[in-house]
Amino acid sequence: MRVELPENDQSGGVLPLEDAAATALALTELVEVRRDTPTRWRILPRRNRIGAVRVGELEVVVRPKAAFASVMFMLGYARDPGYLPWEVDGFVEDDLWSAVGETLARLAERGLMQGVLQGYVTRDDALGVLRGRVRAADQAARRPGALLPLEVTYDEYEPDIAENRILRAALNRMMLVPRLPRRVHSRLGHLSGRLDGVSPLVPGAPLPAWRRTRMNLRYQPALQLAEVVLRSVGLSSTVGGMPVASFVVDMATVFEDFATTALRESLFRLSPRGRTVAQHQAWADEGERVRIKPDIVHFAGRQPRIVFDAKYKLGSEDGGYPTSDVYQMHAYCTALGLRRGYLVYAGSRAEGAGASTHRILNTEIDVVQWPLDVRAVPAELLDQIDVLAIDAGQYP
């Protein structure tokens, strides 16, 4: 059985569920689960959460405003501005599991096209010959008076590096998702096989650290998504043994992170000498007791020039937005000494809604409410960000 609900739906749906399945659904934190009758449960999407959960034969999908492919793009781009729009182009079906699996397979294939990445791995071992350096303290503690074997530490050039461990773990995690399309499952399995011999990650342990280098450049888009998969795709089972798979995303966080990264990149192209700061901390009062933290502030030298705040909200059908947001941006502009600030929204319910500017009475401050159409394909979404950055850059 498949149930689809729109994001932030207030009515939800009523389903006949066993208690174990209802508990498993609630634990994924995608939906709230409330008993409606002794055998039926009402499910309601949690605020700004989207994703999919499979519990046994039941699948619950909470659909975002954007297509799932666009959500995958925003997730990837927020972590890596080199993540390209065409990485998610061409999906035949708008299904979350297919979008995640297909994107991971595409990026992994691209990363492995030139072969499996190798690197130096530090090994501790007991050997009959000297290799690397002797760990004198361990030699004395474990083999007092013995000449061989030697407790040594050496570097081995091999594929068992953090990048391959993360990538293979993500491929294997996706393969365990119930009822994943066969073609996607097959591609993931083939890619995992190419990493045969790479050691598995320890369940529950932090992901191994890796850093961006010229050597792993081709792996980087795949690694960004692999980390998302390992942190977001949950696999478990109910008390009765039903398999549970979940992929849950907080769209408010995704939208804010995407808008911050995309604006930073766009503003840098317009003003390479400027710098864009996320979550900039400042004070609203002279006594420095009231802290403010706008999402994005662009500086020229030490002087703030532009302020943005990302809001994962839809405007009303008449094109309006909450007035409290305007008060907030007015405070930001006043504290930062700016005459213009931008509230960036995830769309509007009004047909053809565009930017609207509000001049605050008895001041020279303009607050601009700027909707982005998150339903647009990724390339068009980035174009919208560019238009916003150009508009903001016109004002001193």
pLDDT band with cut points at 50, 70 and 90 for residue 87: low
**Cα first-last separation, the chain:** 56
For 112, 195, 242, 391, the CA distances from 170, given in Å and listed in that order, are 15, 12, 22, 40
Over 60: is that where the pLDDT of 85 sits? no
Please tell me the predicted confidence (pLDDT) of residue 88. Answer: 59
Mean pLDDT of 390-394: 89
CA–CA gap between residue 23 and residue 44 (Å, rounded): 14
Ranking 15-24, 47-56, 232-241, 359-368 by mean pLDDT, the lowest is 232-241
- Residue recorded with tokens 């008449």: 318
CATH class given for the domain over 253-393: alpha beta
Conformational region of residue 311, where left means phi above 0, alpha means psi within -120 to 50, and beta covers everything else: beta
- Are 37 and 20 spatial neighbours (Cβ–Cβ below 8 Å)? no
What was the pLDDT predicted at 330?
96
pTM of the predicted protein model: 0.79
* Residue extent(s) of CATH 3.90.1570 domains in the chain: 253-393
Helices 96-111, 182-194: crossing angle, 10 deg rounding = 30
The structure tokens 């059908």 sit at 317
How many CB atoms sit inside 10 A of residue 361's CB? 6
